[in-house]
A = this chain, B = another copy of it.
């Protein structure tokens, strides 16, 4: 997740201006905690899988690199040339970068063991079509994993506020709950998990703040859904 990317985009590529800074927040103390929680939820969703993994809307490749280090053969699909350029320059992992959009994947059907969309549907005009396309390229027995920002989380309150102020990319974001994603797809997920229960205003120690967030009734910032395709 990105908090502080205050410059508006200038052209057709909404990520052009923010690509370089896109991962900077992850190295802050709170960002490190959040990304570690998100990584744990993601790795649980792909646990036991191996082989070819497609990340749709890979951004600068943060998750693709982590999954490549776990042994997946990763294809990172990303429409923004700025994000692809920054991503391809980071890390030593053998990631295949591909230009393309979520609604029309360039891949043959049933080509991947895992297809992943992390906080991507929020920014797409046709999220249901993107899910159908992602499902098409999952092999039988493979899985589709979707992470999204939960609209009821205090982080959604912050990002809406940033969107109100014209901060990219939140001006274009859609804020949804997991049930919306399930409804777009038309299939119940076989696993759901939420994480990051602390709020953007939390102070260290973040582990305690996160436990407190659960007790306060907070929705987790990131929800991760998984669907297995029948073998």
Tell me the A residues contacting B by CB distance below 8 Å.
Answer: 151-154, 156-158, 160-161, 164, 175, 177, 197-203, 208-210, 212-219
* A154, closest chain B residue (CB): B154
Nearest CB in chain B: distance from A148 CB, A = 14
Q: How long is the Cα–Cα vector from A152 to B199 in the complex, in angstroms?
A: 9
Residue of B nearest to A215 (CB): B212
CB <8 Å contact, B175 and A201: no
- Cβ–Cβ contact B219 & A216, under 8 A: no
Contact A217 B200 (CB under 8 A): yes
Judging by beta carbons under 8 Å apart, are A215 and B219 in contact?
A: no
Q: A177-B161, A212-B212 are in contact. Are A154 and B202 (CB under 8 A)?
A: no
Q: Is the CB of A157 within 8 A of B152?
A: yes
From A156, A161, A199, A202, residue with most partner B Cβ within 10 Å: A199
Q: A151-B164, A154-B219, A203-B217 are in contact. List 6 more A-B contacts (CB 8 A).
A: A152-B201, A153-B157, A160-B160, A202-B216, A213-B218, A218-B218
Count of this chain's copies in the oligomeric assembly: 2
Q: For A175, what are the chain B residues with a Cβ–Cβ distance below 8 Å?
A: 157, 160-161, 164
- The interface residues of chain B lying within 8 Å CB-to-CB of A160 are 151, 156-157, 160, 175
Checking B152, B177, B216 against A197 with a beta-carbon cut-off of 8 angstroms, the contacting residue is B216
Instruction: Give the distance in Å from the alpha carbon of A208 to the alpha carbon of B152 in the complex.
Output: 21
Per the bound structure, the CA–CA distance linking A160 and B161 in Å amounts to: 11
Bound-complex Cα distance A177 to B216 (A)? 21
Selected contact of A157 from candidates B154, B197, B198, B201, CB within 8 Å? B154
Distance between Cα atoms of A199 and B214 in the complex (Å): 9
A14 to B157, CA, bound (A): 24
> Please, could you name 20 A-B residue pairs with CB atoms under 8 Å apart, sorted by A?
A151-B160, A151-B164, A152-B154, A152-B158, A152-B161, A152-B199, A154-B218, A154-B219, A156-B157, A156-B160, A157-B160, A160-B160, A160-B175, A201-B217, A201-B219, A209-B216, A212-B214, A213-B216, A213-B217, A215-B216
